[in-house]
Amino acid sequence: MKHKIGVIVDGLGINEWVEANVLGGKWYAQAHDIELDIAAPKSIDPDEQMKVIREVVDRKPEAIIVMPIRGEAVEPALSFAREQGIAVITEDMLVRTDSPVMDVRFDSFDAGVRAGTGMLDKLNTQYGSIPEGNIIVIVSKKNPHQSERANGFKSVLEKKKELNIIELDVTPCAEMTDLAYQGVSSLLDENKILGCFGYGNLVTIGIVNAIDKKECFKPRDIKDHIIVTGIDACPKTIDLMKTGKIDLLIDQPCSFYIPLSLHFAIKYLEEGNSGLPKEGEKITEDSLIIEGADPGNVNPWKVQSWSPAQVEMVYGHRWLKTGTVEVNPANCEESWLWGNFIRKFM
């Protein structure tokens, strides 16, 4: 039986991350004979996305997979879908209700912890021990999604008395790269900076721009090299890593989010709640392999980067908490990384 499933995202056609996310879903659906109804609002606006969700629901899919623009902002449309007997799975963004049967995303706090641990490792490698100095952490006090990443990073570094954390608040917006650049530039003038952390691609690029402009760049692993770590690995940040200007990126397995959602949506449609993983269950590639087509000959399924995934219950629904990908100088040219394969398709 061929299943029809709606997929509603945001930023389609303008955001590389979203394009890679959707491509993973298309490739999986192609290999598993699933009919996808893919839609997105024309602007990054929750009200517009709710209209699109309702339009897709009116076309009678069996299930919908939604990347909410802002969590609860689209809840009325998710609730509407459930009332029509349509299963809802969300991806990438937490929704604090029981409308979804499952949510697929990484743990922002844990990703920050992993970036912080990497920062300490690189400081130890570069200096032989943890030196005294300052670490710039770009935070977003108005955005919980980004705040969790920065909080995870800080939780590791705050344990080291030698390090002083300087927070720079940059709210996600069209000018965020410039805002990060301006803030870091000012801090470089006044402080001894050992390293910097960016909660996302655009602010991490702003960090590197500031270091370059101030002529503070030093080759990797020598004294006074400013260590740069961040979350997410797009084509631009991968290129900056290749030139020695970014040291570590913790990435989401974004091209697996929709395939995982499709896998469990079909399990739910065919088996009900018994088809979904149980709370506390750990799922690994030993028990589940996610594979699809490979139109670009980039082998995006080579590394099951979502594994291991842990199942938790949050706000009345299951959260499939995926693993993360460490992107470093040794693996940053691998074709399976979304930040590399997306170059062929945009």
> Could you tell me the pTM of the whole model?
0.96
Amino acid sitting at position 191: N
Instruction: Identify the segments of the chain with pLDDT beneath 70.
Output: none
All CATH 3.40.50.2300 domain ranges in the chain, comma separated: 3-107+253-323, 108-251
Q: Give the per-residue pLDDT at 222.
A: 84
Dihedral angle, C-alpha 117, 118, 121, 123, nearest 10 °: -110
Q: Give the per-residue pLDDT at 251.
A: 97
Q: Give the per-residue pLDDT at 191.
A: 84
Q: Give the per-residue pLDDT at 116.
A: 98
Domain covering 108-251: architecture: 3-Layer(aba) Sandwich (3.40)
Neighbours of 147 (CB within 10 A): 18
Q: How far is Cα 124 from Cα 119, in angstroms, rounded to an integer?
A: 9
Domain covering 3-107+253-323: architecture: 3-Layer(aba) Sandwich (3.40)
Q: Give the per-residue pLDDT at 72.
A: 80
Q: Give the per-residue pLDDT at 216.
A: 86
Amino acid sitting at position 320: L
Q: Give the per-residue pLDDT at 174.
A: 79
Tell me how far CA of residue 259 lies from CA of 110, 199, 262, 337, in angstroms.
Answer: 22, 25, 5, 16
Q: Give the per-residue pLDDT at 246.
A: 98
